[in-house]
Amino acid sequence: MNYQAVETESEYVARLETGADWRAEIEALAAEVDADAGWFTALGAVQDAELWFYDQDDLEYYPIELDEPLEVASCVGNISWLGEERFAHTHAVLSRPDGETLAGHLDAATVWAGEAHLRVFAESLEREHDETTDLDLWL
């Protein structure tokens, strides 16, 4: 395990724009407030979504495409640098009208309505490719 102390530098709340991409909105917020690292939670609803499931045998992400309105019952993630870009690693629990849930790594989703809370850390976090998992993990 690698770890480091972090201090909260600032916190923001934001309303995500209807029709925009869910993850891109969070990355835009991080860029706007110049966040080198952070942690966020969010909730709301989306018009569609693409979740990814990481297969630990194949070392591949497999997409789960959902073309339907869904509630974002819970969304959690973090901000760190991936190469030259701020990456919002985003996971979500989405729900259907009957309450059935679908969950996973959220790659993309079209915002219907969204509210986010971002905690910005004073420190910077970076990702680097990890040989064992074939994932981009924190240094």
Q: In this complex, which beta carbon is closest to Zn ion, that of residue 9 or of residue 50?
A: 50
Burial label, 46 (beta-carbon count in 10 A; 0-12, 13-18, 19+):
buried
Which positions from 83 to 122 touch Zn ion by CB under 5 A, shown as an x/- string?
A: ----------------------x-----------------
Does residue 127 interact with Zn ion by CB under 5 A?
no
Q: Give me the least distance between CB of 64 and Zn ion, in Å please.
A: 13
Q: Give me the least distance between CB of 3 and Zn ion, in Å please.
A: 19
Residues near Zn ion (CB under 5 A) are 105
